[in-house]
A and B are shown apart, each in its own frame.
Chain A
């Protein structure tokens, strides 16, 4: 550390105020701008734990519900894998059930698990704590948001039990096939799916408004935007994306519901089924694709950006080093978010659109690689010469970086029209998006759970089980998805119930069996993780206060774990960013955000 970082350099940096954000000098933090937030004090068990208005409880409710439905998604994937790997041996999944599994697995994992877990779960728990607020600004609406989400989940589950079963239209729900007879679940399943999605959007909007406004308007004294942990930046930008992208999904859902129930022709062209002309005429199926992907592409970043933010914090804390290029990281998040709105048609290269259109969208798509690469470099540079602790959160963070780079690079292939066309609808696509928006964000979810579990429960998760969980998940994910790239290259189409003895399936058969076995093992390990979460709640090793020696506010509440109102009588005052680790000249290894400069006079911390 000492050779490059001479005291001189640090001092010039600190004196140059233009390098930091507009922050009041040293100890003079401005007075509180708005009166202290009024809190809702629950009195009964019901209002405290069930119909709770406390963001921490709501966060846990969100996380538990999302996890529960996520495990259903996991089990569905087992059924699909058994069918694909051993089509002769296992016959419990017919073609219709297979499609239904594919559809429900996709929708559950993307929306009801990842979106709800990152924004509803982590967002609710961490935003007020990390920005120094007592709660979300509108706790009542925040509570309603969770209950809307729960109803949406229940409606989704109910579609398993209606005549015809859940929809089997694929998670993209493309019309006209989604609502025509012949597609499984075209009776009630598709309607329940669309209703559930609409409810989810309404519920999410209620929560999302809370997240955005709490971050913008309810920070504690001294907490400038450029002193916020990157976790908050990620969740904030993702929520803004969601508030602007979900409307397109909502509109598409309404229109398709009307097509289905009333017989309107928004998306339905003149069409024959079983030799009979239907009453539909003149609608545009492509319109649905545009609406869906105008939501669908930002959705990728709604999942990815919180992961980016959280992983930055995990890496910084567990490598005891400040985040390399914090401002660049913030700008990268914002720019990725903005770009994600003008790339949607790269999902539609084969829809028959004008080639120039594809050219435009390929260009914007590839531009996203620039801010994303900046982020990857900065994570690596944060690790560089850091004091890396190979804790479980750090292991998962490292796993994330590798997996994300892998999935990102195949994204460059698919972003080019000319390479996408032959690869379209093959297992290459499946491998790509599972790597980049399945495994990579899930790695962060796991790392984050191991990181913040002590904060929530006051206990650590079992470390041995955790290490097993990490290694099996990490190695297993590669065992599952690397072969899929190859399957894609030899041309195996996705979404096929069975390949029979098609020419692809010479080397494909063994690979498919291998993938299935790996998927079963990885899936089983997730149950081990679930077991770990529930048993450690009561039996886990008690954690001391701030076990990871982190700087951000959530670890420095008067009560540990934090209680109702978060910060006791006085809200904390923030003097620095959350990344003052190993500051030169300081006798402390880390300086929490609420420590004033006067308490660490020798520290040569950069002004933030």
Chain B
């Protein structure tokens, strides 16, 4: 496809620059959609970084002690208080959905419509379960423990503010991902990527690379969760 000959490049930094600046495409063999998703995720990384760095400064600067998170996030099951039980399950579900997403991408490239579609549905269901459990956790904190964005009975009031804002923002990401997973599952079952059916909004053809691009987003959302998990629940 490409006539760009890497072996002719000068060695070292110079070669790196020539490679980058080469003809037509900076990322050889990468479709534009995938490159675009990567840049978007970079931008989104900055958003979540700003959120988490703000959380760190708030925690470092607040005069009231931060709530004891292992108690706040504990569930009482059969009379036993288990810290982080719900979060452990949520994280497990979300990480598992990353696995099913990866399998869906594989079957997509093999043009195995049926399995690709079902694994997309499985991924979406994983995401839905996650959002559902998050809703449960929110309602427990709000209605049972009396945590509010503007105050809470456990300690510094920034706790509730940051918790609801950051997990809410992440939950929105997951929900958007779930919607797109269902849309793309439908596209896969209908065979849009094989027949070249045009998108309803974009009126452009697409192919199974779209599944991989959606996968990039999904893995990113999962990765962000790992950081949120660490900062809110383990710190």
Q: Contact: A225 with B26, CB < 8 Å?
A: yes
Residues of chain A within 8 A of B153, CB atoms compared: none
Does A255 belong to the interface (CB within 8 Å)? Answer: yes
Residue of B nearest to A330 (CB): B21
| Cβ contacts under 8 Å, A22 to chain B | 8-9, 18-19, 21-22
Also in contact, A284 and B22, with CB within 8 A (given A38-B204, A213-B39, A255-B165): no
Any chain A CB within 8 A of the CB of B133?
no
A324 at the binding interface (Cβ < 8 Å): no
Residues of B close to A210: CB separation below 8 A: 36
Chain-A contact segment, one of B46-54, B93-101, B223-231: B46-54
Indicate if A247 sits at the interface (CB-CB under 8 A).
yes
Q: A18-B10, A258-B165 are in contact. Are A279 and B150 (CB under 8 A)?
A: yes
Can you list, as one digit per residue, whether each of B1-22 has a CB less than 8 Å from chain A (1) or not (0)? 1111000111000100111111
Q: How far is the CA of A216 from the CA of B39 in the complex (A)?
A: 11
Q: Is the CB of B25 within 8 A of A33?
A: yes
Contact A247 B43 (CB under 8 A): yes
The chain B residue with its CB closest to the CB of A28 is: B3
Q: How far is the CA of A205 from the CA of B42 in the complex (A)?
A: 11
Known interface pairs A216-B27, A265-B161; A224-B201 also in contact (CB < 8 Å): no
Report yes or no: A18 in contact with B161, Cβ–Cβ below 8 A: no
- In whole angstroms, how far apart are the Cα atoms of A244 and B22 in the complex? 25
Asked if B61 is at the interface of the complex by the 8 Å CB criterion, the answer is yes
A264 and B10: CB pair below 8 A? no
A264 contact set on B, CB distance < 8 A: 149-150, 157-158, 160-161, 165
Which residues of A sit under 8 angstroms from B156, Cβ to Cβ? 282
Contacts of A205 in B (CB 8 A): 40, 43
A212-223 vs B, Cβ < 8 Å mask (1 yes, 0 no):
111011111111
Within the complex, the shortest CB–CB distance from B159 to chain A, in Å, comes to: 10
Interchain nearest-CB distance for B41 vs A (Å): 11
Beta-carbon nearest neighbor of A141 in chain B: B202
Say yes or no: is A380 at the interface (Cβ < 8 Å to chain B).
no
A137 vs B32: C-alpha distance in the bound complex, in angstroms? 7
Q: Could you say which residues of chain A place their CB within 8 Å of the CB of B21?
A: 21-22, 224-226
Does A531 have its Cβ within 8 Å of any Cβ on chain B?
no
Asked if residues B42 and A219 are in contact (CB atoms below 8 Å), the reply is no
Contact yes or no, A140 B202, CB < 8 A? yes
Counting contact residues on chain A (CB < 8 A from B), the size range is 35 or more
Q: What chain B residues lie within 8 Å of A248 (beta carbons)?
A: 46, 50
Q: Which residue of B lies closest to A209 (CB)?
A: B36
Q: In residues 23-81 of chain A, which contact B (Cβ within 8 Å)?
A: 23-24, 29-34, 38, 40
Give every chain A residue within 8 A of B44 (Cβ-Cβ).
247
Q: Does A138 contact B (CB under 8 A)?
A: yes
A262 at interface (Cβ–Cβ under 8 A)? yes
Interface contact tally, CB-CB below 8 A: 166
**Given A38-B205, A282-B157: A247 and B47 within 8 A (CB)?**
yes
Point out the residues of chain B lying under 8 angstroms from A263, CB to CB. Answer: 149-150
Q: How many residues of B contact A (CB 8 A)?
A: 59
* Residues on B with beta carbons closer than 8 Å to the beta carbon of A34: 24-25, 31-32
**Chain A neighbourhood of B46, CB < 8 A:** 244, 247-248
Query: Whole-angstrom distance between the alpha carbons of A281 and B203 in the complex?
Result: 52
Tell me if B80 is interfacial: C-beta within 8 Å of chain A.
no
Residues 35-82 of B at the A interface (beta carbon under 8 Å): 35-36, 39-40, 42-44, 46-47, 49-51, 54, 57-58, 61-64
Judge whether B47 and A30 touch: CB under 8 Å: no
Q: A242–B31 Cα gap in the complex (Å)? A: 23
Within 8 A of B (CB), among A164-221: 205, 209-210, 212-214, 216-221
A255-B54 CB under 8 A given contacts A209-B39, A264-B150, A266-B161 = yes
Q: Which of A229-262 contact B (CB under 8 A)?
A: 243-244, 246-248, 250-252, 254-255, 258, 262
Instruction: Decide if B22 touches A218 in the complex (CB within 8 Å).
Output: no
> Which chain A residue shows the least CB distance to B50?
A251
Residues of A within 8 A of B22 (CB): 22, 224-225
Contacts of B140 in A (CB 8 A): none
Interface contact B47-A251, CB-CB below 8 Å: yes
- Complex Cα distance, B49 from A218, in Å, reads 30
Interface contact B47-A291, CB-CB below 8 Å: no
Give the nearest-CB partner of A138 in chain B: B36
Neighbouring B residues of A223 by C-beta, 8 Å: 23-24
Q: Give residues 133-162 of B contacting A (CB, 8 Å).
A: 149-151, 156-158, 160-162
Q: Please, which residue of chain A has its CB at the minimum distance from the CB of B150? A: A263
CB within 8 Å for A287 and B54 given contacts A213-B35, A265-B158: yes
Is B35 a contact of A281 with CB atoms below 8 Å?
A: no
Whole-angstrom distance between the alpha carbons of A284 and B61 in the complex?
8
12 contacting pairs across A/B (C-beta < 8 A): A18-B14, A22-B19, A30-B2, A30-B3, A33-B24, A138-B33, A140-B203, A224-B22, A224-B23, A225-B26, A258-B149, A287-B58
Excluding A138-B36, A225-B26, A248-B50, 12 further A-B contacts by CB distance (< 8 Å) are: A22-B9, A30-B23, A33-B4, A38-B204, A137-B36, A213-B35, A219-B24, A221-B23, A244-B46, A265-B150, A281-B157, A287-B57
Ranked nearest first, the 10 interchain pairs of A and B with the lowest CB-CB distance are: A22-B18, A225-B21, A264-B161, A30-B3, A247-B46, A251-B50, A247-B47, A263-B150, A140-B202, A216-B26
